[in-house]
Amino acid sequence: MANIGFIGLGIMGRPMARNLIQGGHKLFLHTRSGVPEELLEQGGIACPSPGNVAQNAEITITMLPDTSDVEQVLFGQNGVAQGLTGGKAVMDMSSISPTETRVFASRISHLGCDYVDAPVSGGDIGARNATLTIMVGATETVFQRVRPILELLGKSVTLIGANGAGQVCKIANQITVALTIEAVGEALLFASRSGVDPAKVRSALMGGFASSRVLEVHGERMIQRLFDPGFRIELHQKDLGLALSGSRALGVYLPNTASTQELFNACIADGGANWDSSALVRVLEKLANHEIGQGRKDKQ
């Protein structure tokens, strides 16, 4: 059993922390909105600051919205860095800038501690069911140290490379997911506007080459109009922003990523920052003046 710190107990962090407690670890917890009662009832220990979490923990995990949040929690007043002593480890499981991740890793290393970037994919469902895909940036030695912990959270745990590589992989994942959400939205909208039941179309496509986890989960959300997150549009927009800023630095053009980002921007302008990312379809529906599911009548 390890003493583990966990900072950030939102949609993803809360079930992840719960799975670590159920895995037999002692958890020291902190979040801005207050530690959920359910985690305290299961044995979690609330801490007043990130620094206090790090004082008590061998490994401190962060699961936060953005790069600036991670920086503040790690290096701000009463931050994690102030509670570290040599030999401890920090593992950031947020989705943030690869460039800043390497800077954070260097600063933590200078304190005599290890740093791991381990962003995840799988959404709230994967967090609850401990079936996340976890992409790790670390040395081989450090990876082996934290791997048993990660295996309590995910079904696929892969060492991608050195610090920052996990975040690069996560951005690649977010590009793929966002563009697939857009494609599924277009496909189901086309079917519905043609007078064909989109639920039947989705079911048929799930048996063929177009099948995907996005079609399975997000396609169902589009049809059933279930747009509570999940994974918020504002966070997916943030991730595509990281992709586009990184691509500019690399001299790489990502045209479909850019166009999908504009659809997310339109959702946010329409008040949808906190919608699930599958709600991107709402912008497509406005452009078509047709909502998926309207006027279902099979023309065949």
Three-state secondary structure of the chain: CCEEEEECCCCCHHHHHHHHHHCCCEEEEECCCCCCHHHHHCCCEECCCHHHHHHHCCEEEECCCCHHHHHHHHHCCCCHHHHCCCCCEEEECCCCCHHHHHHHHHHHHCCCCEEEECCEECHHHHHHHCCEEEEEECCHHHHHHHHHHHCCCEEEEEEEECCCHHHHHHHHHHHHHHHHHHHHHHHHHHHHHCCCCHHHHHHHHCCCCCCCHHHHHHHHHHHHCCCCCCCEHHHHHHHHHHHHHHHHHHCCCCHHHHHHHHHHHHHHHCCCCCCEHHHHHHHHHHHHCCCCCCCCCCCC
Overall fold of domain 168-288: N-(1-d-carboxylethyl)-l-norvaline Dehydrogenase; domain 2 (1.10.1040)
* Per-residue model confidence (pLDDT) at position 295: 47
Rounded to 5°, angle at Cα 299 from 294 and 300: 140
Confidence band (pLDDT; 50, 70, 90) for 294?
A: low
299 assigned to active site: no
* Per-residue model confidence (pLDDT) at position 300: 38
d(CA 282, CA 276): 11
* Per-residue model confidence (pLDDT) at position 91: 98
* Per-residue model confidence (pLDDT) at position 41: 97
Answer yes or no: is pLDDT of 47 > 60.
yes
* Per-residue model confidence (pLDDT) at position 293: 77
Q: What pLDDT, in 10s, does the model give residues 209-267?
A: 999 999 999 999 999 999 998 889 999 999 999 999 999 999 999 999 999 999 999 99
Q: What pLDDT, in 10s, does the model give residues 89-131?
A: 999 999 999 999 999 999 999 999 999 999 999 989 999 999 9
Q: Which CATH number fits domain 3-162: 3.40.50.720, 3.30.420.40, 2.60.120.1090, 3.40.50.10490?
A: 3.40.50.720
Q: Taking residues 38-43, report their average pLDDT.
A: 97
Which residue in the list 88, 170, 238, 297 is annotated as catalytic?
170
As a whole-number percent, the residues of the chain with pLDDT over 90 amount to: 95
Query: Which range among 253-257, 279-283, 295-299 shows the weakest confidence by mean pLDDT?
Result: 295-299
* Per-residue model confidence (pLDDT) at position 297: 46
Q: Where are the domains of the chain?
A: 3-162, 168-288
* Per-residue model confidence (pLDDT) at position 230: 84
Q: What pLDDT, in 10s, does the model give residues 173-191?
A: 999 999 999 999 999 999 9
* Per-residue model confidence (pLDDT) at position 1: 86
